[in-house]
Every structure is written in C-alpha cells, then in structure tokens.
C-alpha cells in the first residue's frame, strides 16, 4: 500500500503502536536481543516519518512498559542506553520535520540521565507544530490511571461530584492527547498488554504477524487503509441500519 492510495482527509487522528517482535526477530537470526532492539529502532524511525507524511496528528509508540523491568538487567540497561542516545541523535530530524516529542509514563522511575534527555527533548520541541510523537516509557495503562487518581485526590479544589470522563482526562499524563482511533500490534500476538487502557475504549485494532523490525511504511499505510474502510458507530448505528 502506497501513501498515494490513502485518503489523507480521513486518516486517524491518533495511532498507537505496540512494537512487538524485536527479541524473536533476533532469535530467528541467531543474534543477541540487542540487535533486535537496534533494528526495531530503525523501523520506528521509518514509521515516524511515514506517520508525518500521512498527516497523522498523534503517534504513540509503546517503547518500554512497566512490566519490562522484569527482563534481564543487561537488556534493560541496553534499552535505556539505546533510548537516551536515540533521542539525542534523532532530535535534528525532529526539528527539521517540526515533530513535537512528548512522553507518557512514570518518567520519575527512569534513570536520571534518561530523564534529563527526555525533558531536554520535550522542552526543545514544545513549540513544533508537526506530528505529536509520544513515547510511552515506563508506561502501563493501569499505572497511568492510578497516578491520575492520585493527582485528582490531591487536588483540594476538585470534588467527586464534578467528576466526568472528560475532566478525568485532564489528570492523565498528556491531558490534550485524544483517544486512540487505531491501535496496531506487530509480532502476531493479539492483546493490548496494558497499553492506553483509558484511551482505547473505542479504538479499532490491526494485528500484524510481521515482527517489528520487518514492519514497513507500506504495511503501516495498509493498516491505515483498513481503518478507513471500517464503519465506526461508537455504540450507535449507521443511518438506515438500526439492527443493533
């Protein structure tokens, strides 16, 4: 699927991606898991470019989950190193394409040097008006909701009687972030894995058997095209069809 085949007027506003399959990709090639993560980072770079070209406004990449701390210390340390260095190396590209970089997750739980890189990139790109690129790091959907509740209950000016789904969103990591229209998962698994729990209430899902390092912009555009062919009713029904 080529970009030229998409109707850019009806692309999803917010796409979330569960980038699954780096480890299995490396294992199939008898390579260390670090090689899979490096290859996955290269894929992420291409998909970010593709999302920008498709005029998608928000792209959230599930980069490191709250559960990923269970991996070996060596792998976690490498992922932190890769993340920090990538943010620094990619910034000139983000600047050229006016990509605004945001982060979701418990950033305070990350190593101090990674935190510094995150805050530096976020601050330096805060006025950019292109793609809003969100890295979900040390992120879990349930954790985000719990942290939001803690913020809410510590706000002395807020009462439970005033609580709505709309104003609850103001306590989430990125208050302005819209619900995910489309969530894509690579690697063959078909589950949400604690990703965007609040924002996925009416998301469309696309599951790909392709391991993340082999995922291409053409596959990404194919998922967008599939989304464009769906009849999104949000609990209602299409005009002229009230069977549900």
Note the pLDDT tens digit of each residue in 125-159: 999 999 999 999 999 999 999 999 999 989 888 88
Asked if 136 and 61 touch (Cβ cutoff 8 Å), the reply is: yes
Rounded to whole angstroms, the Cα distance separating 212 from 3 reads 20
Q: What pLDDT is stored for residue 236 in this prediction?
A: 61
Q: Is 173 among the residues known to form the active site?
A: no
CATH code where residue 210 lies: 3.40.1180.10
- Report residue 2 CA to chain centroid gap: 22
- Which of the residues 42, 68, 138, 241 is marked catalytic? 68
> Quick check: 66 pLDDT over 90?
yes
Query: How many other CB atoms are found less than 10 A from the CB of residue 14?
Result: 21
3-class SS shares of the chain: helix, strand, coil, % to 5: 50, 15, 40
Rounded to whole angstroms, the Cα distance separating 8 from 19 reads 24
Q: Is 68 among the residues known to form the active site?
A: yes
Query: Into how many domains does the chain fold?
Result: 1
| Edge-first strand listing for the sheet containing 204-207 | 100-104, 132-139, 58-65, 14-18, 182-185, 204-207
Q: Is the residue at 214 inside a domain? A: yes
Residue 184 domain boundaries: 10-227
Q: Is the residue at 234 inside a domain? A: no
Q: Is the residue at 236 inside a domain? A: no
Among 82, 96, 99, smallest CA distance to 40 is for 82
- Which of the residues 5, 7, 20, 155 is marked catalytic? 20
Asked if 3 and 54 touch (Cβ cutoff 8 Å), the reply is: yes
Asked if 165 and 179 touch (Cβ cutoff 8 Å), the reply is: no
Confidence bin at 232 (pLDDT 50/70/90): confident
Q: Is the residue at 243 inside a domain? A: no
Rounded to whole angstroms, the Cα distance separating 196 from 115 reads 21
Q: Is the residue at 240 inside a domain? A: no
Rounded to whole angstroms, the Cα distance separating 183 from 141 reads 14
Rounded to whole angstroms, the Cα distance separating 147 from 172 reads 8
Rounded to whole angstroms, the Cα distance separating 9 from 21 reads 31
Q: Is the residue at 4 inside a domain? A: no
- The tokens for 244 are 């549900």
Mean pLDDT (the chain) is 93
Q: What pLDDT is stored for residue 130 in this prediction?
A: 96
> Quick check: 197 pLDDT over 70?
yes
> Quick check: 54 pLDDT over 80?
yes
Q: Is the residue at 89 inside a domain? A: yes
% of the chain surpassing 70 pLDDT = 95
Q: Is the residue at 238 inside a domain? A: no
Ordered alpha helix ranges (H), the chain = 22-28, 33-53, 73-96, 112-124, 141-154, 165-168, 217-228
What's the pLDDT tens digit per position in 15-48?
999 999 999 999 999 999 999 999 999 999 999 9
> Quick check: 68 pLDDT over 80?
yes
- Tell how strand 58-65 and strand 182-185 pair up: unpaired
Confidence bin at 244 (pLDDT 50/70/90): very low
The model carries a pTM of: 0.93
């Amino acid at each position: 699927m080529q970009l030229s085949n998409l109707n850019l007027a009806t692309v999803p506003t917010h796409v979330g991606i569960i980038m699954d399959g780096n480890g299995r990709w490396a294992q199939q090639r008898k390579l260390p898991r670090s090689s899979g993560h490096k290859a996955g980072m290269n894929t992420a770079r291409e998909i970010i470019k593709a999302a920008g070209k498709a005029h998608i406004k928000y792209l959230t990449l599930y980069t490191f989950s709250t559960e990923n701390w269970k991996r070996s210390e060596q792998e976690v340390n490498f992922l932190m190193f890769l993340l920090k260095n990538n943010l620094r190396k990619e910034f000139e590209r983000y600047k050229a394409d006016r990509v605004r970089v945001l982060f979701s997750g418990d950033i305070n739980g990350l190593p101090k040097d990674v935190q510094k890189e995150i805050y530096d990139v976020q601050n330096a790109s805060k006025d950019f008006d292109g793609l809003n690129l969100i890295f979900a790091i040390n992120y879990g959907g349930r954790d985000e909701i719990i942290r939001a509740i803690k913020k809410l209950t510590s706000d002395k000016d807020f009462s439970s009687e005033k609580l709505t789904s709309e104003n609850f969103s103001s306590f989430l990591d990125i208050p302005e972030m819209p619900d995910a229209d489309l969530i894509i998962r690579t690697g063959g698994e078909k589950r949400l894995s604690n990703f965007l729990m609040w924002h996925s209430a009416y998301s469309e899902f696309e599951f790909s058997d392709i391991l993340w390092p082999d995922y291409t912009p053409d596959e990404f555009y194919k998922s967008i095209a599939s989304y464009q062919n769906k009849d999104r009713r949000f609990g209602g029904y299409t005009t002229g069809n009230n069977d549900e």
